[in-house]
Amino acid sequence: MSSIALVRRPGPRLPEGLVEHIEPVPVDLERAIAQWEAYVGVLNDHGWTTIEVQPADDCPDAVFIEDSVVMYANVSVSSRPGALSRRPEPAGTRSVVEDLGCSLNEIREPGTLDGGDVLKVGSTVYVGRGGRTNAEGVRQLRAILSPLGAQVVAVPVTKVLHLKTAVTALPDGTVIGYPDFVDDPSIYPRFLPVPEPHGTAVVCLGGASLLMSASAPATAALLSDLGYDVITVDISEFEKLEGCVTCLSVRVRGLD
Ligand SMILES: NC(=O)NCCC[C@H](N)C(=O)O
């Protein structure tokens, strides 16, 4: 089992999820569940073993599991979510990574950190200091990961919910982002602008395969033209809650 993805089924209160940076639009729960099942199906089709973390049905945003833990190879860092309604979410994820044999760390009070603010590119770990992740959260993450050889680079995030709302990385390490969302693209050694807000998020499925939202067809065409195999999924119901393809799973690599 070398490629594991943790996922969490959408709970009944999903439509009550937080919305802070976009206009609220009603969420169709049944449609969301179908979209989530299709998303998990793509992971499975590409060789990922998915593990369902126990539901946290009192937390409307629990499906956005990426925010509950940061993985650096087999080292886990349980988050301390910036939003109070999300604070109970990391417990379930922590118990699964413990069962997988990962070492356990956590962000402690007064630190806050959401996994969506952490972007790994090789041994560089960009961490967004924004609405959900505070300076103490950044400090604690740096203290945990630096001794492991990670270079933790703090990045201001003022325009969007999370760092990974603005930027993610291609398999070759090129950071892609929607310019209006990015505070300072010059932070990244190689930055490629994408033409659509929902084009910022890619999940690297392995090899040259990328998973993206169906809401960004021009970006899908751009990346396909750069030689990637692009698989798209409709995640419209999660996008209404400021979610994206990355936040619906936690990819765990390097357990062997
Ligand atoms: N990592 C992510 O992009 N997470 C999305 C979280 C969306 C959720 N509605 C929230 O505001 O926390």
Residue 196: DSSP 8-state: S
User: What average pLDDT does this structure show over 136-151?
Assistant: 98
- The whole-angstrom separation of Cα 196 and Cα 219 is 7
Considering its fold, how many domains does the chain have in total?
1
Give residue 134's pLDDT: 98
Question: Closest by alpha carbon to 223, among 244, 245, 199?
Answer: 199
Write the pLDDT tens digit of every residue in 191-234. 999 999 999 999 999 999 999 999 999 999 999 999 999 999 99
Q: Is 124 helix (H, G, I), strand (E, B) or coil?
A: strand
- The whole-angstrom separation of Cα 170 and Cα 157 is 20
Write the pLDDT tens digit of every residue in 38-49. 999 999 999 999
Query: Which residue's CA is the closest to the ligand 1 atom numbered 11?
Result: 18
Ligand 1, closest atom to CA 86? 12
Query: Which residue's CA is the closest to the ligand 1 atom numbered 1?
Result: 116
Give residue 111's pLDDT: 98
pLDDT(180) > 70: yes
Query: Which residue's CA is the closest to the ligand 1 atom numbered 10?
Result: 18
Question: Closest by alpha carbon to 116, among 159, 179, 74, 65?
Answer: 65
Question: Closest by alpha carbon to 194, among 172, 176, 213?
Answer: 176
pTM: 0.97
ipTM above 0.95, yes or no: yes
pLDDT(1) > 60: no
CATH number of the domain that residue 170 is part of: 3.75.10.10
CA angle, 215 then 7 then 19, to 5°: 50
Give residue 256's pLDDT: 64
d(CA 45, ligand 1 centre) in Å:
25
Q: Is 96 helix (H, G, I), strand (E, B) or coil?
A: helix
Cis upstream peptide for 110 (omega within 30°): yes
d(CA 140, ligand 1 centre) in Å:
21
Which run of H or E residues covers position 191? strand 191-193
Question: Closest by alpha carbon to 178, among 163, 196, 164?
Answer: 196
Domain range for 228: 3-253
The set of catalytic residues is: 162, 247
Which run of H or E residues covers position 156? strand 151-156
Indicate the length of the chain as a whole number. 256
Q: What are phi and psi of 125, to 5 degrees?
A: -120, 105
In one-letter notation, the amino acid at residue 26 is P
Write the pLDDT tens digit of every residue in 102-125. 999 999 999 999 999 999 999 999
Give residue 2's pLDDT: 65
Give residue 253's pLDDT: 83
What residues flank ligand 1, with Cβ below 6 Å? 17-18, 20, 61, 64, 66-67, 83, 86, 116, 161-162, 164-165, 241-244, 247
Give residue 255's pLDDT: 76
- Report residue 94 as tokens: 């922590």
Share of the chain above pLDDT 90, in %: 98
